[in-house]
Amino acid sequence: MVIRDIDTDAAAAHEMFQSFEGMEGLPTSAPAARRQLSIEAFVRSVYPGVLVALTIALAADWLAGHYKAPVMLFALLFGMTFHFLHEEGRCIAGIEFASKAVLRTGVALLGARITVEQIIALGPVPIAMVVAGVTTTLLFGLLLARLLGQSRSFGVLSGGSVGICGASAALAIASVLPKTKESERDVILAVVVVTTLSTIAMILYPMLVAAIGLDHQRAGLFLGGTIHDVAQVVGAGYMISQQTGDVATYVKLLRVAMLLPVVLSIAFFIARAQGGRGGAKVPVPWFLFGFAALVALNSLGFLAKPVVDAAGDISRWCLVVAIAALGMKTTFKSLIAAGWRPVAVMVAETLWIGGLVLAVVELAT
């Protein structure tokens, strides 16, 4: 888990497909052994990138307080100006660590501020909205991919990454899809496009909900039900208010929870289509269980107020640091070589789930 959190998303995709070739008995080109790092070596590996992300977070926090502006937006924009640090050099491992492990820790700690009573107060609408959003986005992705001449695998991959949880969903779904010569390109493209679209949504959607006059709870339902990656959902939600951030996080984690049944269902259908050949392991997000555990402890009254306050402060700093790291990972130049059709599929899927969730929020809440 720790080593995975300092690998780039592209490296994870390359390694995944290389392991597939080995399982199929095909020759692989000098597979690199997984590094076993001591604690000291691990710290030396990640501290430059984490230090840069923390410095950006401190600068963003100071400016946000001085100008009364969203700290998450400052952290994101400052991070994007330092994208060159993620292209090569000693900072890459730390940037990956901050954008993954630090992010997940921050999200898990958010559970200390939420209770079951708050969740029950939302009613059944968020659950129905999430199930409908994920299901229809997958089906829409399949249809649109066919219309634009893309493979069914890309339709499922893109629909799942847009509908569930961005890059994490893309890698999980790709692990059970049939392997073709375009598979690796498709998953890396999906990771790049979904991260870019999620970053754009993080900036634009808070302005959209303000323009159409959604209250804090309905704004949280919309943001949590539409933005692709957890970090950007959290960033967009807490740009607006504490309540909006809490609701958006809960709705987003409902979408993350859909990863397991969706990937298992895809593996099942593919196994049936291929005559029963097995599927791959499904990664389960640990921060979802951490979040749920803290919600349960807080609901039962086991967390004292100083503990809840401390968890909230640590969570906030973790998320600002993670947003800064995500900014450093964001680039637009990789999209140019892929052509417009795969990008168009994912943009259309993003508009689809956005329109569906907005309709539910306006009509059913």
- Secondary structure class of 166 (helix, strand, coil): coil
Residue 54, pLDDT > 90, answer: yes
Q: What does the alpha-carbon distance between residue 73 and residue 71 come to, in Å, rounded to a whole number?
A: 5
Task: Mark 59-93 as b/e (b = at least 16 C-beta within 10 Å).
Answer: ebbeebeeeeebbbbbbbebbbebbebbeeeebbb
Instruction: Rank 194-198, 278-282, 336-340 by mean pLDDT and report only the highest.
Output: 194-198
pTM above 0.75? no
Q: Average pLDDT in the 186-212 region?
A: 87
Taking only the tens place, the pLDDT of each residue in 204-259 is 999 999 999 999 999 999 999 999 988 889 889 988 988 899 899 889 888 888 88
DSSP labels for 271-311?
HHHTTS---------HHHHHHHHHHHHHHTT-S-HHHHHHH
Both tokens of 186, joined, read: 């498709």
Q: Average pLDDT in the 14-18 region?
A: 58
Taking only the tens place, the pLDDT of each residue in 321-345 is 988 898 888 765 654 666 788 889 9
Both tokens of 259, joined, read: 């990863």
Q: What does the alpha-carbon distance between residue 189 and residue 346 come to, in Å, rounded to a whole number?
A: 10
- Secondary structure class of 2 (helix, strand, coil): coil
